[in-house]
Structure 1
Amino acid sequence: MDILLFFQSIRNDILTVIFTLFTICTEQVAVVLIAAIMYWCIDKKCGQRILFAVTGSITINSTLKNLFKAPRPIGSNNLESLRTETATGYSFPSGHTQTATTVWTAIIEYFRKWWVTLLGIIMILGAGISRLYLGVHWPQDVAAGWVIGILVSIVLVKLFDYVYENKSYYILLLTLILFAVVVYFFIGEELVKSFALYTGFVLGYIVEDKFINFSTEESKKRANIFTNNKSKPKLSVKILRFIVGIITLGIIYVAAKSLVVLLLANASEEVLLIADYIRYTIVVFWGIAGAPFLFERFGLN
């Protein structure tokens, strides 16, 4: 509490804006945009690594929250918490911190450039400190988010690389079964949604890799028939990919949510959880496999 009160004592308008931005950069919309731009437009494999690591990390985070059921500091005496609308569920470990750490650890490990490493460290530290500054997490929540985020990112990235190189899809399906067992014992709304994200990625990745296999590079034949080089598509193609992908993803999301509201307005909590699981699985599956299919059909590959 002394640490949280210290951060509260140094608050000012500028610091509040800075740390609020750090928090926003780890929330759902921002992570989706970062992953989508990387996966669809810049570097497909890096995007796949990020998505696999972050969907797995979110599922693990939700499991741990449901296991420990730690209360947040929000509402404690003398503490004024900010941006509490983003502080849902239990406290330990910090989801924002773990997500930022997972994403940026995967990016740092992939590119291995000093400026990417520096930027990643700033984003990781900033995300964690922002949760203390806003008064929505305890210090141990943030510390655990950093440690778990790094470990989970390293392990899942290595696992993905093995699957990627050996086409060992069965490993992904085994992890899916393992997480399903965990969800069964620690069931909760956030955990079900997190597991749906992971399910959507695993199924989408297998379908895309086997049947679509789009690329963020294009082949250009040179005069010498024995050589072939890779070059990046034009910026206009990348922009069109992003527009097609994000618009169709938004349509799928809104349509799926509308159907749930329309058809299951008076359904039981269990039925709504199943509907949410299916809905989020479909949305992520579309982003991983459906949008790339459209890229192929529209000649944007």
Structure 2
Amino acid sequence: MDIQLSILQYFQSIRNPILNMTFLLFTISTELPVIVLITAFTYWCINKKYGQKILFSLVGNITINTSIKDFFKAPRPIGMKGIESLRVSTATGYSFPSGHTQTATSFWTSIMIIFRKTWIYILGTIMILSIGISRLYLAVHWPIDVIFGWTFGIIFTILISKIFDYVDENKKYSIFIFILILFIIIAFFLNSESYIKVLGLLTGLILGYIIEDKFIQFETGNNNKQTINFSNRQTKKRSRAFINLIRFILGILTLALVYILLKVGMPYILELIELKNLDFTKKILDYIRYTIVMFYGVAGVPALFKAFKLS
């Protein structure tokens, strides 16, 4: 602990406005709004399979990270004597392992696995290291949290990527259902509100993936059958860019609408349901809410694209 404290105090001693802004940007780059926008654009507009692989990696790692956090319940360095933490508003939950670090590692490792380009390996490595270090610079995590965030992010992303490829190629949906059941069993032992929410995301992702893959089957590539068919190549590119823009705007707006309606509506449901165990009921409603939101993003939005002939 003394060594870890010394490391945090060292980063605190070199703070200046430029470094503050730099590391704040690194840490913000892996927070939920940024990750949602990038992953959604990839899934809806660039390449469906790439987007699915990134989604499974991210949601899988977030679920594992949350379960480990809620099991160990390690305190953060925030508020410790001699430590001045920055951007504590986003440093919620327990400390071990670092969620920001594991999420960033998962995202960039997925990108490296997908594209396998030298410059992407370099960029990804820089981002992974910088985001982890930013959590130390901001003094919201211990060094051991970051080290295991890197380690878990790499190991589980590689594992999840291989599982996804196998399931996707062989249509072995039962493997995903089995994994989901295991995580549901874990929920009974953890009894954690934060875990229930990410479990809802995992449930919506798996169910949404299966429904989309079996029944919707929308496409994002240039081999799509488009109603617009101009001979001029530049016009085709502009048409593709315009369709992608419409897709992204339609997807984000409707996804946000579904999220807001469910978030606003759930408290009213709690008031209508006269149950003694309101805490348990709230957890179930949170699980349902996050399941629906993810399911809509993975299967509902693509169905909307097909309905509006944007696929």
Q: Give the superposition deviation at 1:287.
A: 0.3
Which digits, 9 at most, give the CA deviation of each residue in 1:211-234, with x for residues without a partner? 00111114379xxxxxxxxx9871
The code of the aligned residue for 2:39 comes to A
Give, as a single letter, the amino acid of the residue that structure 1 aligns with 2:305: F
What's 2:304 paired with? 294
After superposition, residues 172-211 of structure 1 pair within 5 angstroms as 172-211=176-215
- Which residue, out of 253, 260, 264, partners 1:254? 260
Match of 2:232? none
1:4 equivalent in alignment to 2:8: yes
Question: Normalised by the size of structure 1, how large is the TM-score?
Answer: 0.94
Does 2:131 match 1:121? no
Q: Does 1:169 align with 2:173?
A: yes
Aligned to 1:216: 220
How is 1:230-269 mapped onto 2 (pairs within 5 angstroms)? 234-265=240-271, 268-269=278-279
Which position in structure 1 is the counterpart of 2:54? 50
Separation of aligned partners in 1, 2:191 and 2:111: 31
Q: Deviations over 1:115-158 (max 9, x none)?
A: 22122112111110110000000000000000000000000000
When residues 265 and 97 of structure 1 are mapped into structure 2, their CA distance, relative to the original with a 3 A threshold, is farther
Alignment of 1:95-114 (within 5 A): 95-114=99-118
Residue correspondence of structure 1 range 144-159 to structure 2 within 5 A? 144-159=148-163
Structure 2 stretches lacking a partner, 5+ long: 226-235
Out of 76, 83, 88, which is 1:84 matched to? 88
SS state of the match for residue 219, structure 1? coil
Aligned-residue offset at 1:263:
2.3
Paired amino acid for 1:298: F
Stretches of 4+ moved more than 6 A in 1? Answer: none
Cα RMSD of the aligned pairs, angstroms, is 1.5
Q: How many residues align?
A: 292
Q: Are 1:138 and 2:142 an aligned pair?
A: yes
Unpaired runs of 5+ in structure 1?
Answer: 222-230
AA aligned opposite 1:89: G
- Secondary structure of the equivalent of 2:223? strand
Residue 279 (structure 1) aligned with residue 275 (structure 2)? no
Range moving further from structure 2, 267-276 or 105-114: 267-276
Quote how far apart the aligned CAs of 1:28 are: 1.1
Matched AA of 2:308 = F
Bigger shift: residues 268-277 or 201-210? 268-277
**CA offset digits 1:69-104 (Å, max 9, x no partner):** 111000111110011111111100000000100111
CA distance in 1, matches of 2:269, 2:207: 26
1:73, 1:220 → 2: CA distance? 51
The superposition leaves residues 32-88 of structure 1 with CA deviations (integer Å, 9 ceiling, x where unpaired) of: 111101100111111100101111111100110111111100011111001111111
1:64 partnered with 2:40: no
In structure 2, C-alpha distance between the alignment counterparts of 1:57 and 1:184, rounded to whole Å: 19
Distance in 1 between residues matched to 2:202 and 2:20, nearest whole Å: 33
Choose 45-54 or 262-271, whichever is displaced more.
262-271
One-letter identity of the residue aligned with 1:100: A
Please state how far the C-alpha of 1:23 moved relative to its aligned partner: 1.0
- Whichever residue aligns with residue 176 of structure 1, its letter is L
Return the offset for 1:11.
Answer: 0.7
